[in-house]
Amino acid sequence: MAEFTMELNDEQREVRDWLHGFAADVIRPAAAEWDEREETPWPVIQEAAKVGIYSLDFYAQQYFDSTGLGIPMAMEELFWGDAGIALSIVGTGLAAVGVLANGTEEQIGTWIPQMYGDQTDVKVAAFCSSEPDVGSDVASMRTRAVYDEATDEWVINGTKTWATNGGIANVHVVVASVDPELGSKGHASFIVPPGTPGLAQGQKFKKHGIRASHTAEVILDNVRVPGSCLLGGKEKLDERLARSREKAKASGERVKNAAMATFEASRPAVGAMAVGTARAAYEVALDYARTREQFGRPIIDNQGVAFQLADMRTQIDAARLLVWRASWMAVNGKPFTAAEGSMSKLFASETAKKVTAQAIQILGGNGYTREYPVERMHRDSAIYTIFEGTSEIQRLVIARTLAGMPIR
């Protein structure tokens, strides 16, 4: 077990500086253009693939960093560059992690390479879980997967929403209910291979922020996938469902939603994204306050501006520490007895919204225009308090954990 430390080692610093250089030289110069176009920035993703950032190997190295700091460090630097483009680069990782966590060795070796493509022909993947009208109530998922024993196929019907890369992905990973009576414990994940009949893109969302990231509905109309596309295999699924039914029978209650507890370990990564955006806005505001003069002196000499910057930096550093603590706990198997994962995501996401708003205020009228990036950063920051569980859900998870109550 790695000791918790706030000091990056030499290898981590090298990776951080490499990512920062890519974010500064490649992502930032393209940010405004792709925000306006509201399209997937394929050229930037291809550049990331060429240097090795857009690859399974890179994310695996960060994911298995024994200190737990690899992923949050990478997320902070990329999202410091631009949130929309960074999400386009890391979005495939959501689907890849789903396969790594649940798939067999054969499934991992077959499908993950197809998610990324190669340097000359990059691909993306989509993880499809959220649904219309379901929101945070994961246990009420309506997408159904029914096994056709005669053909050894699963038939999937339903609609997914808010899917990053939904409809444009080469490979879709779809979460569906195979036993609605078991709530979230009756869910399973399926690979939908490229070109599968019945899968189609629904509405593409025109968003307030992260516009360079493609977000859309995914329609599944009698989608048939081979039995081998059930992640983990049917034998493993049947065993898990049987155990869940026995527990439900013994308790006399419907199985509670365990998804919230599962998400706890992934939320620090979203917190790190928020830290990156907040830090970017703070740095713009700090530079502006040092160089912008009013009444014959830099505006940072004004206590009202200086105190805002002091608060911004303090909140950013506090958010990073919460994210690093939760990330270290997750990789070292420490139990989140106080919902530390949700704490980190809650505080970092709220900090990003607040800091980006303060940055606009410091820049005044200039901050409200698209000539300066803080306007875009403020729009982008709004997503952090919504996806991967809203701030309200984070507070609910924390409160119920502290009270010793089940997370529903």
- Per annotation, catalytic residue among 76, 131, 375, 388: 388
Residue 205 CA to residue 132 CA, distance in Å, equals 13
Query: Does residue 38 carry a catalytic annotation?
Result: no
Residue 243 CA to residue 245 CA, distance in Å, equals 5
Encoded tokens for 76: 């902070």
Identify which of 52, 267, 262 has the alpha carbon closest to the alpha carbon of residue 175.
Answer: 262
Helix (H) or strand (E) segment spanning residue 177: strand 171-177
Identify which of 92, 101, 102 has the alpha carbon closest to the alpha carbon of residue 127.
Answer: 92
Rg of the chain (C-alpha set): 22
Residue 73 CA to residue 276 CA, distance in Å, equals 9
Helix (H) or strand (E) segment spanning residue 58: helix 56-63
Q: Count the residues in the chain.
A: 408
- SS3 assignment, position 207: coil
Query: Which residues face 293 on adjacent strands?
Result: 298
Encoded tokens for 95: 């689907």
Residues annotated catalytic, as ranges: 388
